[in-house]
Structure 1
Amino acid sequence: MVQEKLRSDLAILPIGTAIKLTGLTARQIRYYEANDLIKVARSQSKQRLFSLDDLQQLMEIKALMNTEHNLEQVRQLLARSKGTVVHSDSQLRHTLQDEILLASPFNRNSANYPSTFKGQN
């Protein structure tokens, strides 16, 4: 008989169970969801459903928030632990501006680019 692997990504637990297992309040969980720290599955009737992976992530968020981290720091730390990169709006704008300048005929390395504009953003 082949033993089935436990599916920790299967969202089947209601918010009441998540509250009991994590020690968080419903308000905290909704706040973390509203601030995109966690993505929660929904049933057809729009009820929040949590997986074991979701509960683990909620516990990580709780631990980070208890160590005086703010939302943005928690978001960065969670992204880093998942191996994804999160950039702020200003970082994205700066990167986009650099890419546009490099692609334009007036890029910073061009001899025709006026020296008075070099280094200005």
Structure 2
Amino acid sequence: TPHKHFDGYLGTQRNHYSGETWELTHDHVQALAELEVPAPVDAGRYQVWLQTADETLDYRHAERYYRACALRIQAGGDHSFQGFAERLPALLAFAGIARGHYAALDFSVF
């Protein structure tokens, strides 16, 4: 439900990295609302990985939304999910992919 978190943000916005400015309008928020999907029905098929120091999204919103799913919440991190490569074996195991299919891969290059 990201579209519900834009109160007070409509109007001119500035990209903190490039300095570029742009206008956030009600149309933008409505377009985002149209992309909303319901929470998973078959929660056992999902793992949700969150890091508590995500600077873009409040992990607690996702934690509530996906509460019926297997949650993997790690302290710290950021929006890029620090340490993702180290967690790929667990993700692949959850997906039912046998270790033999990826054991020779070097995940540190990802």
TM-score band, normalised by shorter chain? under 0.3
Larger radius of gyration: 1
User: 1 or 2, which has the higher helix percentage?
Assistant: 1
User: 1 or 2, which has the higher strand percentage?
Assistant: 2
TM-score w.r.t. structure 2 length? Answer: 0.24
